Amino acid sequence: MNHDQNSILEVRGLGIHFGGVQALRNVSFRLDPGKIIGVMGPNGAGKTTLFNLITGVYKPSSGSIWLGDQQLQDLPPYRICHVGIARSFQSGRPFTNMTALENVLVGLHFGRGSGVLGMAEARIRASEILALVGLSKQGGRPVSSLNLMERKIVELARALATCPKILLLDEILAGLSPMDLAPAIAIIERIRDELGITVVWIEHIMKVLMETCEHLLVLHHGEKIAEGTPSEVTANEIVAQAYFGKKEGVQHG
């Protein structure tokens, strides 16, 4: 997969406050395309807030967000989707009044590059996407009848259907049984390798992030305290202090 300048996500001096609470302060980074980038940090560090800002669900109080040479911070969420950024939600928010296939169809009909596919073609494409994430058999089933793992993967498939350049995953492994972890991770790696999509991934399971990600961002109290390869981040003293020194964050896994 070759990447152009237009699939580089860059955040400059990003900040947001809710009333007096500064949820995110002066965060900047630039993400190389085609990689899996982990976002870590204790609870309340501002990870999900960061995703809400990038996808336009919240408007930043300061700073800017760029995809290539396009500024995103003033666009509504659906336009940011059309530019090429898709996401999943922390607690899992698939459309529960539809089947798995219909969830994917919403992404195809309204995402980036929508309008190209006819109704019949879209159904075929939707089945292909479900096959890619290993949900071929569940396509016709209502989401309300699926288990947690399947629901999370449906949400992932819906995001993929919008043809993103950047995919933001918010704790997609949370709540899954240990048995389901490996297949889910394999799907995420396949998204990077076969589709060439940049994955930005919030997760609490450190071991997984360390093993899967090429690059890590560490947030703490709304600020970026470290960035680099997994080995660089583990060697970082500020990170060690944030995680272990004051016993603030609780880790799982």
Partner 1 sequence: MSRKHWASLALVVVLAILPIGISSYHMSLLVSVYLAVALAGSWNLFAGTTGYVSLGHGLFFGIGAYSFAVSLVTLGYGPVASFALTALCTAVCATVLGFVLLTTRIRVAYFAIVMLGFNEIIKTVVANTKSLGSSYGLTLPPVPSNLIAYYFLLGLAVLVVLLFFLIQRSKWGYGLKAILSDEVAAEVTGVNTVALKMAMFVISGTLVGLAGGMIAWHWSYIDPYMAFDLAVSFEMVVMAVFGGIGSLWGPVMGAVAMSLLKEFLNTAVPQLHSIIFGGLVIILILWCPGGIVELVVNLRRRLKKADATDRTTR
Considering the complex, state which of residue 81 and residue 226 has its C-beta at the smaller distance from partner 1: 81
77 binds partner 1 (CB under 8 A): yes
Task: Tell me, residue by residue from 141 to 180, as one string, x for binding to partner 1 by CB under 8 A and - for no binding.
Answer: -----------------xx--x------------------
Given strand 85-87, what is the order of strands in its sheet? 85-87, 166-170, 198-202, 36-40, 215-220, 223-228
Q: Give the nearer residue to partner 1 in terms of CB position, either 86 or 209.
A: 86
Q: Detail the DSSP E strand segments found in 145-222.
A: 166-170, 198-202, 215-220
Among 3, 17, 35, 109, the residue binding partner 1 under the rule CB under 8 A is 109
User: Binding to partner 1 by residue 80, rule CB under 8 A?
Assistant: yes
CA distance 79 to 112: 9
Asked whether position 86 contacts partner 1 by CB under 8 A, the answer is: yes
Rounded to an integer, what distance in angstroms lies between the CA atom of residue 21 and that of residue 39? 21
Q: Which amino acid is at 209?
A: L
Count, residues in the chain: 253
CB of 4 to partner 1, least distance (A): 22
Residue of 10, 26, 29, 95 that binds partner 1 (CB under 8 A)? 95
Complex with partner 1: residue 12 or 123, whichever CB lies closer? 123
| CA-CA-CA-CA dihedral for 124, 128, 131, 137, to nearest 10 | 0
90 forms part of the interface with partner 1 (CB under 8 A):
no
Q: Would you say 231 and 216 are in contact if contact means Cβ atoms under 8 Å apart?
A: no
Mark residues 32-71: x for contact with partner 1 by CB under 8 A, - for none: -----------------------xxx--------------
C-alpha torsion sign, points 219, 91, 16, 213: positive
Residues that bind partner 1 (CB under 8 A): 55-57, 76-78, 80-82, 86-87, 89, 93-98, 102, 105-107, 109-112, 114, 119, 158-159, 162
